[in-house]
């Protein structure tokens, strides 16, 4: 049976980069945040989001992700409402995706809010990606052209590294590409040994 490796980390930790390194080693990866964005473009989810948040998220008749983000990251209750719409859709989509990868010994399920969403409960192992806060802020500013204030708000809405690490099986410090790849190799070797022992 395919083992699910949950991969998480705070904003700017570089978890998608790490997921892609796993992919380079032949492991199928599911990027939950990317799939959530695609699913939010479906009429069903779009309508549900618009019905919940109303005209405040509309711009020229189109749903504005920026306006929606501002609302939900300023208000934990609104973030919960959005998650209640998006998470079940991602869960259902992942289930279908997983059934298409039954031949794989392991898959990577990458999610920023793996713990907050409860998705960690479906994982056999959990990997947390970490990096110093200043490094993370710099990465996000460069990537999203976002303000420091907005990034810190996003960080406040997520679990801390300490919380994530306390519930994880493996930790990858993502500062140096080669060192990160070596950590991935160690994790994969451990999993191979476990598989043989099973």
**pLDDT tens for each residue of the chain, 198 residues long:** 899 999 999 999 999 999 999 999 999 999 999 999 999 888 899 889 999 998 888 887 788 888 898 888 888 899 899 999 999 999 999 999 999 999 999 999 999 999 988 999 999 999 999 999 999 999 999 998 889 998 998 898 889 999 999 999 999 999 999 999 999 999 999 998 887 776
2 marked among binding-site residues: no
Residue 14 labeled ligand binder: yes
Give pLDDT, residue 197.
72
12 is in an annotated binding site: yes
Q: Please give the C-alpha separations between residue 140 and each of 58, 64, 97, 116, 148, in angstroms, as whole numbers.
A: 25, 20, 29, 21, 9
Q: Does residue 161 lie within any of the structural domains?
A: yes
Task: Judge whether 120 lies within some domain.
Answer: yes
Answer whether residue 122 is part of any domain.
yes
Looking at the domain assignment, is residue 62 inside a domain? Answer: yes
Q: What's the pLDDT score for residue 63?
A: 85
Residue 140 lies in a domain: yes
With respect to residue 106, please indicate whether it lies within any of the assigned structural domains.
yes
For residue 167, say whether it is annotated as part of any ligand binding site: no
Q: Which residues of 49-82 are buried (b: 16+ CB within 10 A; e: fewer)?
A: beeebeeebeeeeebeeeebbebbeeeeeebebb
CATH number at residue 84: 3.40.50.300
13 in a structural domain: yes
How confident is the model at residue 13, as a pLDDT?
Answer: 95
Within the chain, how many helices (H) and strands (E) appear?
A: 9, 7
Q: Specify the number of domains making up the chain.
A: 1
Q: Which domain holds residue 69?
A: 3-193
Asked if residue 198 is part of any domain, the answer here is no
């Amino acid at each position: 049976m395919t083992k699910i490796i949950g991969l998480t980390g705070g904003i700017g930790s570089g978890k998608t980069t790490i997921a892609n390194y796993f992919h380079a080693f032949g492991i199928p990866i599911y990027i939950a945040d990317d799939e959530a964005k695609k699913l939010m473009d479906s009429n069903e989810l779009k309508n549900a989001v618009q019905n919940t948040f109303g005209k405040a998220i509309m711009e020229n008749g189109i749903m504005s992700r920026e306006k929606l983000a501002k609302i939900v990251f300023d208000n934990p209750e609104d973030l919960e409402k959005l998650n209640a719409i998006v998470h079940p859709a991602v869960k259902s989509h992942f289930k279908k995706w997983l059934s298409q990868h039954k031949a794989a010994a392991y898959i990577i399920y990458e999610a920023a809010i793996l713990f907050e969403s409860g998705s960690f409960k479906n994982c056999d192992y959990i990997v947390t990606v970490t990096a110093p806060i200043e490094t993370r802020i710099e990465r996000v500013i460069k990537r999203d052209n976002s303000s420091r204030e907005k990034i810190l708000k996003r960080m406040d809405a997520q679990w801390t590294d300490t919380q994530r690490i306390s519930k994880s099986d493996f930790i990858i410090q993502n500062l140096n590409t080669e060192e990160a790849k070596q950590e991935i190799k160690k994790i994969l070797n451990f999993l191979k040994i476990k598989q043989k022992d099973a």
